[in-house]
Amino acid sequence: MKIHLINPNTTASMTKKIGEAAEQVASSSTKIVATNPTSGPVSIESHFDEAISAVGVLDEIRRNPDADAYIVACFGDPGLMAARELTQSPVIGIAEAAFHLATLISTRFSIVTTLGRTGIIAEHLLQSYGFSHHCRKIRAAEIPVLDLEDNSELALNKIVEECLLAKAEDDIGAIVLGCGGMADLTDEISKRVGLPVIEGVTAAVKLAESLVSLGLKTSKFGDLAYPLPKHFTGTYEYLSNK
């Protein structure tokens, strides 16, 4: 089984880190391939970054059509629905993955993310997926995403601090980490905070393996069918198939 993990931003060190986190939890028979688009933002911290990154996600899927499942490893799940149209192999977003698993081991959770301004993205996803009432609060450690690479100790401390506030104040049973770049910190945070901590990259790996081993593929009947063949112009002419 081959799972293609796509880091939607273009920071290779983060891709490597995420890939390693994925490998650590993958089954022995699962091959993890972690890539990032060559084109796009070095981090994703806004709707704008997300919109641009979605094209990179879709390109990666098209360039690597033979995976058994795909993971979109940014907490805003950029391009997820479009990705599902492109392939019959399951595609999992790390936000949805984390939400799903969190509801299986707790009744209510809080999210701890990087920047407060991205909270609205999570809020929209919670509503669309159906988990709004499972999430007590979206909290931000107010650290730029790339600080998870460059100032990881400081970043970790701020995240832990926010998690401890969530534990004390939010009436929750678990924490969801709101950024793929935190994938390597899960165990440490959980230890320091004393709560189950659900992180999306690792969660998504297991959900992807689950679907593949059950033979469940994205439905091609109805609204996730392959995109209709059509002409694209300019930069995107390579997407034309008509």
In angstroms, the CA 123 to CA 224 distance is: 23
CB within 8 Å of 88: residues ≥ 6 apart: 217, 218, 220
Window 190-209: residues binding a copy of itself (CB under 8 A)? 194-196, 198, 202-203, 206-207, 209
Q: Candidates 31, 132, 154, 241: give the one binding a copy of itself (CB under 8 A).
A: 132
Give the strand pairing for 69-72 and 91-93. parallel
In the complex with a copy of itself, the residue whose CB is nearer, 86 or 159, is 86
- Name the strands in the sheet holding 197-198, side by side, starting at the edge strand that comes first in the sequence: 135-140, 109-113, 174-177, 197-198
Output the smallest distance, CB 41 to a copy of itself, in A: 5
- Go through the chain and tell me how many residues it has: 242
Window 14-53: residues binding a copy of itself (CB under 8 A)? 25, 27, 37-43, 45-52
Instruction: Compute the CA torsion angle 184, 190, 193, 196 (nearest 10 deg).
Output: 140
Per-residue interface string for the shown chain with a copy of itself, residues 152-191, x marking contact by CB under 8 A: ---------------x---xxxx------------x----
For a copy of itself, how many residues bind (rule: CB under 8 A)?
93
In angstroms, the CA 126 to CA 51 distance is: 19
Window 66-125: residues binding a copy of itself (CB under 8 A)? 79, 81-82, 84-86, 90, 92, 96, 100-101, 103-108, 116-120, 124
In angstroms, the CA 58 to CA 139 distance is: 29
Q: Does residue 241 touch a copy of itself according to CB under 8 A? A: no
Q: Candidates 131, 155, 159, 160: give the one binding a copy of itself (CB under 8 A).
A: 131
Interacting stretch for a copy of itself, rule CB under 8 A, among 154-162, 176-184, 226-234? Answer: 226-234
In the complex with a copy of itself, the residue whose CB is nearer, 110 or 156, is 110
Q: Does residue 13 touch a copy of itself according to CB under 8 A? A: no
Output the smallest distance, CB 213 to a copy of itself, in A: 6
Token pair recorded at residue 50:
């997300």
In angstroms, the CA 159 to CA 139 distance is: 10
Output the smallest distance, CB 81 to a copy of itself, in A: 4
Q: Does residue 217 touch a copy of itself according to CB under 8 A? A: yes
Token pair recorded at residue 118:
């991205």
Nearest CA to 175 among 221, 167, 183? 167
Output the smallest distance, CB 8 to a copy of itself, in A: 12
In angstroms, the CA 62 to CA 137 distance is: 36
Q: Candidates 7, 10, 113, 114: give the one binding a copy of itself (CB under 8 A).
A: 10
